[in-house]
Amino acid sequence: MHEESRDGWITPPIVPPFTGTERFFTGDFGVMDFWRFAMSDLRMNNVRGYFAEFLVHRALGSAVPRQEWAGHDAETEDGVRVEVKASAYLQAWEQRQLSAIKFDGLRSKLWSPRTGYASKATYNADVYVFAVQTAQNHEGYDPLDLDQWVFHVLPRSVLAALDQESMALSTVRKHSGGAVGFRDLGAEIRAVGACG
């Protein structure tokens, strides 16, 4: 059942997150089977991006579930909006060489269910986190080793000054205060957010 607001819009209810133990009504499989099917390989581009967003949420102490159409990926407790971009040297397919690290989609058009897409793409966060999975051979790749991730954090003002739609890792490195590991990520986001 849906909730209809006074102005006639259908508002979805807040859905509690699955635990993974739920079973489908028909068939001998459950939610965990679906997760294994769709998200078991953290090298896949979409899944890697979701995982990087998850890491940022964890670093900030946030338990808010991912919101597909939000204008940013995370938010600090004091309202600093955070966008997360992820990249890696290794992919889930065969490669002749390691991938060049590049981050796309730095600007986007905000979307609202009531008004649709904004007319212009903009920088929609206060802080941008550039997450890099650093493994460079499949034998050493361990999706559970958070030490294989590094993070660069930049304020929106830097991206706006550069006025780029995408950015290579070399440019990110040049303008960030240096890479941080997962343990220091939350503090770095808050520090950059406070200055920006």
Nearest 5 degrees, angle CA 114-CA 103-CA 90? 125
140 pLDDT band, cuts 50/70/90, is very high
Q: What is the largest CA-CA distance in the chain?
A: 58
**Amino acid 65: pLDDT:** 86
The mean per-residue pLDDT over the stretch 153-167 comes to 96
Residue 6 predicted with pLDDT over 80 = no
Per-residue pLDDT reduced to its tens digit, 71-112: 899 999 999 999 999 999 999 999 999 999 999 999 999 998
pTM of the model as a whole: 0.92
Residue 1 predicted with pLDDT over 70 = no
**Amino acid 195: pLDDT:** 86
Nearest 5 degrees, angle CA 47-CA 53-CA 57? 140
The mean per-residue pLDDT over the stretch 33-55 comes to 94
Q: How many residues does the chain have?
A: 196
